[in-house]
Amino acid sequence: MKQRHLYLLVAGILAIAAIATSLNASVVSALQTDIVSHYVAEALPLADPGSPMWNQATSMDVPLSGQVTIAPKNALPSVTSMRVRSLNNGSWVAFLLEWDDPTKDVGGSLTSFKDSAAIQFPSEEGQPFICMGVGRSRVQILHWRADFQQDIESGLPNASEIYPNMWVNIYPGGDDTVFSTGLSAGNPLSAADKTSPVEDLLAGGFGTLTSEIHNDAVGWANWSDGSWKAVIARPMTTIDVDDAQFAGGMETSLALAAWDGGQGEINGKKSVSTWVSLRIEAPPSAIGVPVTLPAASAPATRQEIIVRRDLPVGTMIIIGVLFAATLVFASWMSWVMARRS
């Protein structure tokens, strides 16, 4: 009798697997799709963290831990989780990040540091080394900075604000940029005319962080009652070949990072997440239509993908429970009939 029960159990497992296959649904991929960029057929709130449109997107809490791989390490991070929502309209993709931070820190001096947050995407298919990629397995990083936003709102700080003990009698260079080495070198950190608080960066490992040729990233953030809400957005497709490229219906990954300036967090001293699965929802009319990853990304293994909706995890659980209940009932009936005979 026990052997018969075992056969029934194995048959049930095979039946569930067969149904999942026939319905073209993957239990594993559904469980791993943690964040969904919800499609909306209207302009996105690219600079409005408080827009009611964000209520159309499902929020997901992503845990963060301290970066302890390379110095400066952060064994006791200030930010331990971040709430993420995402929207796309086929042309732009935007993310709303929310995290707790008891103080608003915008930097601006030698002894004060900024609050900031970043989203990391693989430049090509797959998941490269989580700590800023490695070698040719590069990552694109969109980095919102409180100090950049402060510069846009209030202008660049004066040198006397950064160096309060400095003394200058005369500076012969005046406003000539030749004597402003950062501006002359094209360093975006020195730019006086910042238009976005979000940096568009590329990395292929530790110490390789570089500004993209074209900064396509936009966003804005608000701090209130001990928490930040920051929008980070960019076009779905760009002309930079090393950028991540997005298309409706595709699945990719993202990772998050946050810095609490009030706790002296800067550079590698930060909070980070692992890779999290991201699905870019397609317009309803495009479900089932083949699409190709944008050519701008030029990956060596570019492939065609089919836009479809996986069965929700809840549906798969219900199917499994029903089959299990059926098998238990059949096993019980078999036992009853055997007793009566």
Q: Which of 47-51, 106-110, 122-126 has the highest mean pLDDT?
A: 47-51
Helices H, strands E: what count in the chain? 6, 18
pLDDT at 327 (0 to 100): 63
Structure tokens at 129: 């080394």
- For the chain, give every domain's residue range: 1-32+310-341, 34-306
157 or 169, which is more confident? 157
Q: What is the DSSP letter of 95?
A: E
Q: Is 299 exposed, middle or buried (0-12, 13-18, 19+ CB in 10 A)?
A: middle
Q: Is 35 exposed, middle or buried (0-12, 13-18, 19+ CB in 10 A)?
A: buried
Domain 34-306 carries which CATH code?
2.60.40.1190
Structure tokens at 178: 């030749």
Taking residue 174's Cβ as centre, other Cβ atoms within 10 Å add up to 7
Phi-psi region of 132 (alpha: psi -120 to 50; beta: other; left: phi over 0): left
Say what the pTM is: 0.71
Taking residue 90's Cβ as centre, other Cβ atoms within 10 Å add up to 17
Please report, to the nearest 10 degrees, the dihedral formed by the alpha carbons of residues 124, 127, 131, 133 taken in order. Answer: -30
Query: Whose structure tokens read 């991201």?
Result: 278
Is residue 186 pLDDT above 80, yes or no? no
pLDDT digits (tens, 9 = 90+) for 272-330: 999 999 999 999 876 555 544 444 433 322 222 222 233 344 444 555 566 667 666 66
pLDDT at 25 (0 to 100): 35
pLDDT at 71 (0 to 100): 86
What mean pLDDT is predicted for residues 231-247? 93
Is residue 100 pLDDT above 50, yes or no? yes
